Amino acid sequence: MGLFGGLFKKNLAPFDLSLIGTDIHSHLIPGIDDGARTMDESIAMLAKFESLGYKKVITTPHIMSEVYPNNAERILEGLEHVRENAQKLGLNIEIEAAAEYYFDETLELRIKDKKLLTFGDSYVLTEFAFHNAPQFEGKLFFDMQMAGFKPVLAHFERYLYFLGSVEKAAEYREKGVNIQVNINSLSGHYGQEVKKQAQRLIDAQLVDFIGTDCHRIDHLMLLEASLTSEYIHKLADLKLKNQTL
């Protein structure tokens, strides 16, 4: 590359998010976790999802035993309220709900009881702690699959103990675990190391689902501002399962 080669990059048009179609990771049901606080916030986010080109949102409230002790009944009741308000206001975007299950002591029991909220073809969104590597996750993923569920590991690029390598993502995928990346990781929202990790995953073709992990409308505004990013455009080259939902 010449002296000034790095200064002249091709200007890309904003990426067409309708190519993704469905968002599978967000926190839009008001008042039950660290996402939307009010119905007005929920509706504003859904309207923005629609204007960005999304056709469907599968919102995924946290289920964490002590912090967010949600259950299927509470989540589905909240979903109905959001749907009712969205319909009254003329929104056309489809709205479904699953959950984001934290790897804690309650998850094993939920798997045994087969009481997990799923999306699509029996997919279950799960997450690890960000700073401490999980233990026995292989067994839980195996148990989940034996119970008929398909695990999806949320925001792989944000786990500090995996930074710098995508080998664990490849290992999980070989064992049937789907890898999800947050689209705003590509903007640098979570820091440069997380951004680089997300890029590594894309370059290695190790991404099954892309998600916004939207908690507030600022996340969608940031996404909109980042749609000319080279790596967001590279999403079109992946075989994302979002498009099958």
Answer yes or no: is 234 within a domain: yes
CA-nearest of 136, 125, 129 to 162 is 129
Answer yes or no: is 1 within a domain: no
Answer yes or no: is 226 within a domain: yes
Q: The pTM is what?
A: 0.94
What are the tens digits of pLDDT across the range 189-220? 999 999 999 999 999 999 999 999 999 999 99
Answer yes or no: is 8 within a domain: no
Q: Which domain holds residue 44?
A: 16-244
Kindly report each contact of residues 232-236 with a partner whose C-beta sits within 8 Å and lies 24 or more positions away, as own/partner. Answer: 232/15, 232/183, 232/186, 233/12, 233/15, 234/202, 234/203, 235/15, 235/19, 235/20, 235/183, 235/202, 235/207, 235/210, 236/15, 236/19
Q: Which residues is 197 bridged to in the sheet?
A: none
Whether the Cβ atoms of residue 95 and residue 79 lie closer than 8 Å to each other: yes
> Is residue 100 scored above 60 in pLDDT?
yes
Answer yes or no: is 7 within a domain: no
> Is residue 26 scored above 60 in pLDDT?
yes
> Is residue 150 scored above 60 in pLDDT?
yes
- 36-45 average pLDDT score: 98
> Is residue 8 scored above 60 in pLDDT?
no
- What's phi and psi for 53, nearest 5 deg? 110, 0
**Tokens representing residue 144 in the block:** 């989940």
Answer yes or no: is 5 within a domain: no
> Is residue 91 scored above 80 in pLDDT?
yes
What is the spatial distance between Cα 52 and Cα 234, in angstroms, rounded to a whole number? 18
Answer yes or no: is 3 within a domain: no
Answer yes or no: is 168 within a domain: yes
Measured from the Cβ of residue 113, the count of other Cβ atoms closer than 10 Å reads 9
Q: Quick one: pLDDT at residue 104?
A: 87
pLDDT band at residue 3 using 50, 70 and 90 as cut-offs = very low
Give the CATH number of the domain where residue 102 resides.
Answer: 3.20.20.140
> Is residue 120 scored above 80 in pLDDT?
yes
What is the spatial distance between Cα 103 and Cα 126, in angstroms, rounded to a whole number? 7
Look at the chain and report how many structural domains it folds into.
Answer: 1
DSSP secondary structure string for all residues of 63-100: EBTTTB---HHHHHHHHHHHHHHHHHTT---EEEE--E
What is the spatial distance between Cα 78 and Cα 73, in angstroms, rounded to a whole number? 9
Query: Letter for the amino acid at 217?
Result: I
pLDDT band at residue 11 using 50, 70 and 90 as cut-offs = confident
Radius of gyration of the chain (CA): 18
Q: Which residues is 63 bridged to in the sheet?
A: 101
